[in-house]
Structure 1
């Protein structure tokens, strides 16, 4: 019963309310950044067209975009995990029902821009203990913790969106530095290209290789050569094993023939002993 309520009742309810307040979230975010979808902060409805939008707003300092509401299937999966790892209802721990990304322009003033973004969002959404949180990866980026290095520099905020007539809705806001984001996305895209490539030849033929891509291609080519050499050795070993198997089979036949001869001689000797 609890599982059904959590995944089949509460999750669809959250998805429905999140869809209802999505536009409110977008507007409140724009106002918080003093841009109201213009001026200082540029609103980008579709990330695919971000470069076009920024070319039309040459003096931009920040751009932001609001993602579609996360689907029920994904929310149910996270709810199930939270129920198992934490407590019921797992839907209580969903912190990114609404999602937004803010990108701060690079340059000498980028540090101030990032800090100002935090100050504005903290005020607009009332971020404080027990009402949202801040995870500042700009402060911990690259720091060795245990056997792992911390995440690349960015800022993650969990906020609570309050809209009259609706239940409070948790939202996640990511704040990025323009140049860091470009580097992260280019590396991620590169790995994605490698993952989906049907063969090393398809990577060679892309015709749009960056210096990083070329390095990766070279490494892959070397690894392919090593694998090919290993395949040759394995193939040769397989042939030797096959030849040995034939010899063993032939020897077995010879032994079988000898056993027959011995058996026949034994019969002859037995007959002779009777005589």
Structure 2
């Protein structure tokens, strides 16, 4: 008498979550980690706020013939600087720390797609940037009589300027994270050029006060164009007289910011390192 044995087929491996789902999950982790670091939270949010209150209080006069106050001009510029800081500075320093403490190496050894890590970082920076914009807008409206846009086209301009600017700054931050030799040197290496860039990009000092060679340098970087696009939103037609060309040049703003998105992506693909210098 023959006994038949039933062979149970092996269970199929469970399907892995999609890259987007993993990226969203990673974004939640990154955001929680950021807000647990109270000193980083305080510095990230307080720096542009303190500068806006200080400069807005010291230079409280009206720009001749425009009906625009210096405080309103600073608000528009510092919104751009705050968004770039939330992307470029936040990512550049954060990824440098992740590389040195072994986080990148451990993540690279897991089934999680590497792209999910970057999606998480970008979405976390987006959350920080949106909060930064809301806080700075509130201060501008409450303290300095900043007028919010009353036309849908202005809100649309603000949306694409901030989106392109944030994307370009974030990709640049990811690329520059490979420059510091250690996590300890990352804040100095990344923060110092960003502060200098703010002074030559029309955030604190009007372009009419800068020499031509500094204007040419700042025109190469995205911050100058972000601030110019945001001034078109908040200062309106009267503010165009303050620009070097008498126009906001929104077409050129879009072109330069898009170029930085493409260029930033190329830089990331060619320079990013998963291992620290000591790991070879």
Task: Provide TM-score, normalisation by structure 1.
Answer: 0.20
Higher helix share: 2
Structure number with the bigger relative contact order (C-alpha 8 A, sep ≥ 6) is 2
Between Structure 1 and Structure 2, the one with more strand by share is: 1
Greater Rg, structure 1 or structure 2?
A: 1
